[in-house]
Structure 1
Amino acid sequence: MSRAALLRAAARTWDERLLGQLTIRDKEARLQPLRLNPGQRLMLEAMRRQRAAGAPVRIVLLKARQFGGSTLAQACLFCDAAHSPRREAWIVAHNLNSARALFGMARRFYAHYPATARLKPERCNAGELLLPNQSRIAASTAETAPGGRGFTLHALHASEIAWWRRAGQSMLSLMQAVPDHPDTCVIAESTANGMGGYFHDLWRAARAGQNGFEPVFVGWNLVEEYSLPFADGAARRRFEDSLTPEEDALRGDAGLALEQLHWRRACIRDKCGGNEDAFRQEYPLHDQEAFLTSGRPVFQVSVLDGMYLRCEGPVLRAEIDLESWIANEQDGAGADAMSRHLRAAP
């Protein structure tokens, strides 16, 4: 097998050695090789499972902020385009600044990647990178994204879908451009923006196995840098003694370390204006918390969150026949209100 064929095969499975040759700009503005963190590995494993099964790669990613999901999506799209000719990859973001930032990753990859660094691109401008192998990476907002008619995409990174103005309409058009072929890839990712809407529906359907997307959730507890060390052992003990009931519950039920709770408290204070619900929206611990917090919830989220963490499976599932109401007796009925369609049997 030729070197080009070996690289194509490695790119097709997103070999970590290949991804590690890509250069990213870290949060301290330093250029560094891409090293996968736990959340990125979780996402990549899901993509590899689908590809190994011979299925089109379809990922719906619900995430905490700044864990690197968009970076991995860009890395996978770039490796695919760099080693497979005539590929069309599109980045679609919720606003122009985000589209430019994501496209900037692709340009940085190209400039520093050993296989492309010495090659002049066929075309490179603010929204398009045409590689020497005629593969193309382009970026736009959801408002200006191309339609599916007469247009073919092999890879699509749909970023922050929950914040698109007409997400359902835009994704309907874009998905028509992606063939149902095993070599295609669609990554639909977002932070949550309340219950209802296209992204919430897509996530729920994926969780229920009702579409071809594999759901991947990355909570803030998987992000290694979301941990704040203590000055010394005495400071750690003082913090432990000061835990609120909610923090103590998170420590026990979610298995959070004191350093993680220390970071959480500092983030709520310094980045979220002291608003715990704002923290839960930006940094959810589980998918239900993400959607419950980010909309306009009626019930107190901290109470619902605690109930969710302690939730156990049903002891019994059964159907009963209700024959008649008995006078002066108290009867109750329960319903699953997580769907917008409530059905009741007579």
Structure 2
Amino acid sequence: MNTRLVELKQEAEWRRCVRDESYFLQNYWHIAHPAHGRILFGLRQAQEEAIQHWAANRYSLTLKARQIGWSTLVAAHQFWLAFFHPDQNIIDLSRTERESVLLLRKSKYGYQHLPKWMVERGPKSLVEHQQRMGFDNGSQITSLPSASDPARGESATLIVVDEWAFLPNPEDAWSSIEPVADVGGRIIGLSTANGSGNFYHQLWVGATTGANKFEPMFYPWSATEDRGDSWYQEKVESMLPWQLAQEYPTTPEEAFVKSGNPVFDLDILEEMSKHTTFGETGYLHRNGSAIEFRI
């Protein structure tokens, strides 16, 4: 009788995890914390919002600060999709092969530490490769560098583009994944800023003005609760202004305007701006050797 009750409880838990991603992550998903080792994934409010945003929008574009747990979150999200839902073909695009391996490793880490009953109740693992994991429910996750053009010709349900602004071929990556989304797939784009006028900045401007299909999200350095004013002040004192803006922006404008290793002294420009009458605002767009001012 006790065994039957346990089985019924486990089945109820399984069904709740299928329905409620946040519940699964907070109660069963473990991450490797750099200071505390293996811990349960305690979702922060900003991460809860991101999960809801991904569920509601096929095209999602996130501008974010560094080290706020978003690669960890997307690794957990894609596993939940593949493990609990059949026929999911998920593709990750990263800057390098090493980064693609590290992203998928986070998904595999959480899988390795699931309860035994959940692993046995779930689909069986069929593929064990450093850049791929797959299950007998027809779902798989493939994590590759963008230069390998892995998305072209694929029929994907989700494509994750990590650090899009820093890809060696951001335009080519987009040209290969856009047709996938057009037939029903979803795209999650994530990145810190890398200056203005580049392809990712154009995507962001289009998202915020309604000129493309992406829905934008911005998460500043304070998106994680363990960072306060004293933490930020330490960064101010130890980093160059453009580095601070790129890694730990407070606003999207700061992220794009001040990042990317600018030529001019930003503090001097900021002081000059106090005595300047502004006209039309825009950004610089590079097209080959030509540079255009766009509004």
Match 1:265 to one of 204, 225, 233: 233
State the partner residue of 1:146: 150
Aligned partners of 2:143 and 2:294: how far apart in 1?
43
Answer whether contact 2:65 2:248 (CA < 8 A) is retained.
yes
Distance change in 2, residues 1:276/1:112 (3 Å)? same
Residue pairs, 1:140-289, within 5 angstroms: 140-149=144-153, 151-181=154-184, 184-227=185-228, 260=229, 262-270=230-238, 272=239, 275-289=240-254
Offset, 1:127 = 1.0
| Code of the aligned partner of 2:119 | A
Residue pairs, 1:14-25, within 5 angstroms: 15-20=21-26, 21-25=28-32
Distance change in 2, residues 1:224/1:48 (3 Å)? same
Secondary structure of the corresponding residue to residue 169 of structure 1: helix
Secondary structure of the corresponding residue to residue 178 of structure 1: helix
TM-score between both structures, scaled by the size of structure 1 = 0.70
Which protein is richer in helix relative to its size?
Answer: 2
Aligned length: 273
Which protein is richer in strand relative to its size?
Answer: 2
Check if 1:38 corresponds to 2:45. Answer: yes
Distance change in 2, residues 1:8/1:174 (3 Å)? farther
| Code of the aligned partner of 1:117 | V
Aligned partners of 1:135 and 1:306: how far apart in 2?
55
Answer whether contact 2:29 2:110 (CA < 8 A) is retained.
yes
Secondary structure of the corresponding residue to residue 263 of structure 1: helix
Aligned partners of 2:269 and 2:45: how far apart in 1?
27
Aligned partners of 2:49 and 2:272: how far apart in 1?
26
Task: For residues 71-122 of structure 1, give each alpha carbon's deviation from its aligned partner in whole angstroms, at most 9, with x where no partner exists.
Answer: 1112111111111112101111111221111110111122223475346511
Distance change in 2, residues 1:23/1:304 (3 Å)? farther
TM-score between both structures, scaled by the size of structure 2 = 0.81
Which runs of no fewer than 5 residues in structure 1 stay unpaired? 51-56, 228-259, 311-331
Distance change in 2, residues 1:198/1:342 (3 Å)? closer
Offset, 1:132 = 2.6
Secondary structure of the corresponding residue to residue 216 of structure 2: strand
Offset, 1:290 = 0.7
Offset, 1:339 = 5.8
Secondary structure of the corresponding residue to residue 117 of structure 1: helix
| Code of the aligned partner of 2:235 | C
- Compare CA radii of gyration and give the structure with the larger one: 1
Q: Percent identity?
A: 24
